[in-house]
Amino acid sequence: MAVDTLKPTLADKDAVLAGLPDHPALKAVLAWNPQALIDAKLDRGELTLTIAPEEICAAVAAVQAAGYNAFDDMTAVDWFPSSPRFQLSYHLSSHSFKERIRLRTLVDEANPAVESITSLWPAANYYEREVFDLFGIRFENHPNLRRIMMPDEWEGHPLRKDYPVEGYR
């Protein structure tokens, strides 16, 4: 079955905390730092935990230690013109629980920077370079934060919503 329609939607943090008391990732985050968990949502069978931006690397470490051993994906969404502008989504899965979660953090436009998770997962290296290249979000302590898709001398960040898609640049 492609779509699990039977799974209920838990719209906010309180509902998720009440509805999923035994979820390993949720337990790990709460045991690590309950203040850093800003919001949580279970929608279409996917659990999303919103974390404070300055804590994202530590949150990923806590979830990794709880058994989410595989890094699936990491990318950004530009919510221009609302503020905070950028959303970073980390998809992490567990080979033993056979389950995937999403960690999400919102980053301000003024100084878009978060801590790199390459020390936890070398796999994140290219993904963070891609987000840096196409969105202009910096990752502190990244070993090699260069453009990856666009030429090195390129100006601007093409996946931003205010990047011109036609006409002369």
Partner 1 sequence: MTETIGTPILEVPVAEGAKDQHMVLNMGPQHPSTHGVLRLVLEIDGEIVVRIYPEIGYLHTGIEKTCEAKFYQQVVPLTDRVDYLNPMANNLCYALAVEKLLSLEIPEKGQWLRVLLAELTRLNSHLIWLGTHAMDIGALTVFLYTFREREEILRMFEALAGQRMMTSYIRIGGVSMEPPLDFFARVQAFIKTFPEKIDEYSNLLTGNPIFRNRLKGVGYLSADDAVAFGVTGPPLRASGVDFDLRRDMPYSGYEKFQFKVPTSTVGDCWARYEVRLVEMRESVKIIQQALDGMPEGAVNADAPKILLPDREKMKTQMEALIHHFKIVTEGFAVPAGEVYQAIESGHGQVGYYVVSDGTAKPYRVHMRYPGFTTLQALETMCKGRMLADVVAVVGSIDIVLGEIDR
Binding residues vs partner 1 (CB under 8 A) = 1-3, 5, 43-44, 46, 48, 69-73, 75, 77-78, 89, 91, 93, 95, 98-100, 102, 121-126, 134, 147-151, 158-159, 165
Determine the Cα–Cα distance for residues 121 and 86; give it in Å rounded to an integer. Answer: 22
Shortest reach from residue 158's CB to partner 1, in Å: 6
Residue (33 or 69) nearer to partner 1, CB? 69
Residue (33 or 123) nearer to partner 1, CB? 123
Shortest reach from residue 101's CB to partner 1, in Å: 10
Shortest reach from residue 45's CB to partner 1, in Å: 8
Determine the Cα–Cα distance for residues 93 and 109; give it in Å rounded to an integer. Answer: 29
Shortest reach from residue 26's CB to partner 1, in Å: 18
C-alpha separations of 87 from 95, 114, 143, 161 in Å: 26, 11, 22, 13
Residue (5 or 35) nearer to partner 1, CB? 5
Shortest reach from residue 120's CB to partner 1, in Å: 9
Determine the Cα–Cα distance for residues 38 and 139; give it in Å rounded to an integer. Answer: 21
Residue pair 149/159 in contact (Cβ under 8 Å)? The answer is no
Residue (32 or 79) nearer to partner 1, CB? 79
Strand partners, 47: 42, 101
Report, in this order, helix, strand and coil percent for the chain, each rounded to 5.
25, 30, 45
Determine the Cα–Cα distance for residues 47 and 135; give it in Å rounded to an integer. Answer: 25
Determine the Cα–Cα distance for residues 29 and 23; give it in Å rounded to an integer. Answer: 10
Residue (33 or 148) nearer to partner 1, CB? 148
